[in-house]
Amino acid sequence: MTTAYSATSKPADSNASADPVLPRADSVDVLLLLEGTFPFVAGGVSSWVDQIIRGFPEIKFGAIFIGSRREDYGPMRYALPQNLVHLETVFLYQQEVANEEKVKVKPLSAHPGVMPRVERMHELFNGQLGHAECPALFAGLMDEAAPGGKLDRDVFLHSREAWEFIKKSYRRNSTDPSFVDYFWTVRTIHAPFWVLRAAAERAPRARIYHSISTGYAGVLGTILKHRAPRPFMLSEHGIYVKERKIDLYQAQWVKDNRNVFERDPSQISYFRQLWIRFFEHLGYLTYQAADDIVALYEANRQRQLLDGAPAERTRNIPNGIPLAKFRGLRRPPQTAVPHVLCLIGRVVPIKDVKTFIRARRKISRHLPDAEAWIAGPLDEDPGYVAECRELVRFLGLEDRVKFLGFQQMTELLPKVGVVVLSSISEALPLVLLEGFAAGVPALTTDVGSCRQLVYGLPGADAELGAAGRVVRIADPEALADGALALLANPSAWQSASEAAVRRVENYYSQDLLFERYRELYEKNFAWRA
């Protein structure tokens, strides 16, 4: 997920209980399906969710938060809007029994007709993406997944037929020598389906289902629409499948048991492939179920089409920000620009904070007083945070690189000369737009819509000028050069600042965002079965 820290967000008290009493309702107008975001994770998508709910006070929203385990999340990071009348949490891998309890497993037999359908589903998942049979077959299996059904959780996990299916699949498909790891990978991949199926049964009635990603949230939307047909909207900020691929390529928990002679450096491990195919097919199923598929910018819409989204259901709606909140932060002409580079985002590998730190070393040769700030939560990946701090110490930059933690943008931006994103993946980052509205240029890697934001789309947008610099991914030298091109040249900085203001005023206002979503909501509210 992208990670910006919006001045429009309403942070909750960090000392609040991790498990407050959540609002409940039998029915809502719009049911938001949120994986790993609002209200427990601060960041760009979460800020967008908060923005959308508050932007339509006349609409009763509900939300289902989907996470891994309760212990992976702290207290809520946002105060709940008054028109959020329902909120529940769904944890896919929550421990189901107390440590001291023993799970009693009774031998089971599967219904004769169900496992062949499971096998067929897996054949399709192992084959080419986009088989027309997949949506109906998946929906039918989810119908059977009810407690006591032909494919309830116990049948899949404990029946002899399921055991034989897993063994056969291992012999037929796996290139990893460990059957034990294969067995547990299969169970781990499939376990969330029954959790999501149960969540769909508990969910309040809704006039519209609205997911902010494919993945598990998208699957929940697919199940909900099948069970109680209503319009299903998908607003994809980053391309979920692409982001999961990046995570999986870096993940240390994914096993690879091949020996040195079996490994081909040009091929990823079987279990990584298994997880990637899984998320690719979840994306396809979500695209087929969704009635409206929103991308933030054209390149992502084109990627959605390649991944199976029907073209006639797709559209672009870029993010927008409340311009009035930032206009007063703009620096008067001819005033000194702070030699402060600020990376705004979570301190996690996908943000490539280490490249930013390494760039600061080169910058010091030309602008010794320049400071590098890192503003964003430090609790998501403590191991990576520790590595970043150690790199700062190793390079002797303790006096010039500061870890600020979460910051309010309205307080931060007046102190900053350039907003930096060194990420290896982004969508349409709100932090850049908020920086633009405050007249602060951007220095970004060439990811997501960043080139579009900095240089503009062809035509009138591009003619507004460059609102900063775009450089290659994972290149500290290029990042340093981009920073120096702005901070060491006051006229270049001023030109970039003026272009940033013009671009955000013309194309990325909150009013435009609300206007476009109001049209979608009103269209879908008018739906009749």
pLDDT tens, 18-68? 457 899 999 999 999 999 999 998 877 998 999 999 999 999 999 999 999
Answer whether residue 110 is part of any domain: no
The tens-digit pLDDT sequence of the chain (529 residues) is 333 333 334 444 433 344 578 999 999 999 999 999 999 988 779 989 999 999 999 999 999 999 999 998 989 999 999 999 999 999 999 855 444 345 555 677 888 889 999 999 999 998 888 899 999 999 999 999 988 889 999 888 888 999 999 999 999 999 999 999 999 999 999 999 999 999 999 999 999 999 999 999 999 999 999 999 999 999 999 888 888 887 888 777 888 787 655 666 657 889 999 999 999 999 999 999 999 999 999 999 999 999 999 999 999 999 999 999 999 999 998 899 999 999 999 999 999 999 999 999 999 889 999 999 999 989 889 999 999 999 999 999 999 999 999 899 999 999 999 999 999 988 899 999 999 999 999 999 999 999 999 999 999 999 999 999 999 999 999 999 999 999 999 999 999 999 999 999 999 999 999 999 999 999 999 997 6
Give the domain-ending residue among 259, 283, 316. Answer: 316
Query: Do both 211 and 271 map to the same domain?
Result: yes
Q: Are residues 285 and 428 in the same domain?
A: no
List, in order, residues 6 or more apart from 284 with CB less than 8 Å away: 129, 130, 134, 307, 308
CB atoms within 10 A of CB 70: 14
Q: Which residues, 6 or more positions from 305, have their beta carbon under 8 angstroms from its beta carbon? A: 311, 314
Which residue, 269, 299, 316, sits at the end of a domain? 316
C-alpha dihedral (310, 242, 211, 508), degrees to nearest 10: -90
Partner residues linked to 67 by β-bridges? 91
Calculate the alpha carbon distances from 510 to 52, 195, 451 in Å. Answer: 10, 36, 21
Look over the chain and give the mean of its residue pLDDT values, rounded to a whole number. Answer: 90
Total domains, the chain: 3
Domain-located, residue 525: no
464 to 320, 337, 444, 467: CA distances (angstroms)? 18, 22, 18, 9
Question: Residue 74 corresponds to which tokens in the numbers above?
Answer: 């702290």
351 with 473, same domain: the answer is yes
The DSSP string of 399-459 is TTEEE--S--HHHHGGG-SEEEE--S--SS-HHHHHHHHTT--EEEES-TTHHHHHH-STT
CATH number of the domain where residue 457 is located: 3.40.50.2000
- Tell me the CB-side half-sphere exposure of residue 379, using CA atoms within 13 A: 13
Give the domain-ending residue among 144, 163, 184. Answer: 184
Give the integer Cα–Cα distance in Å for 253 and 417. Answer: 39
Could you list the residue range(s) of the whole structural domain that residue 83 is in? Answer: 27-94+192-316
- Domain contains 22: no
Q: Residue 516 belongs to what H/E stretch? A: helix 510-525
| Pair (450, 336) in one structural domain | yes
Q: Report the distance separating Cα 191 and Cα 189, nearest Å.
A: 6
